[in-house]
Amino acid sequence: MANDFENILSGIKSVITTNLATKLTAIETEKGDSIALPDVDASAYAFQTMDSEAINYDPFIIYGVESVETIPLYGGTAEKLSISVVYVLADGNRQNISEILFRVQRALKEIFEENFTNLDVGNKITVKRFEPVSFQSLDSSARYKAIGIILETNLA
């Protein structure tokens, strides 16, 4: 069942829930500077949109399909799939928030590079980082910072 979007997206959540906490602990140990990296609650994942349940967590992760590009091939098509994984953290004047965000982004990048075979894509993925962004919740005065990665793969 390779190249099935549903399986790939399920694999993405599985890679994060299975590996992120361990990777964050390893980075905390490596750095040794007492900056705590907040883990994500098992219920704090939102697929494609931020619903009311996901936003009630700090931090939370949003993941979903960014784009699908169809590539014509002789006798069929291939698809270039881009999927975003975004870590969102409340910015309540946290100290060291930049360090936290960059370390979490590193953790996300590394867990997908180490576990791409669990994504059911049949070939390798490219992991791209994107810069941190700030935003304010539309239904409150809460401010957030977000950082993440884009996973790209070609599906034939």
Q: What is the DSSP string of 9-22?
A: HHHHHHHHHHHHHH
Q: Tell me what pLDDT residue 1 has.
A: 41
Q: Tell me what pLDDT residue 20 has.
A: 96
**Alpha-carbon span 100 to 10, nearest angstrom:** 26
| Residue 128 φ then ψ, to 5° | -115, 140
Q: What is the pLDDT along the chain (156 residues), one digit of tens a residue?
A: 456 777 888 888 999 999 999 999 999 999 999 899 998 998 899 888 766 556 788 999 999 989 888 888 888 888 888 999 999 999 877 889 999 999 999 999 999 999 887 676 666 788 999 888 887 776 667 788 999 999 998 877
Cβ atoms of 68 and 79 within 8 Å: the answer is yes
Q: Tell me what pLDDT residue 122 has.
A: 61
Burial of 79 (0-12, 13-18, 19+ CB in 10 A): middle
In the block, tokens 């590079």 appear at 113
pTM of the model: 0.87
What are the structural domain ranges in the chain?
A: 5-133
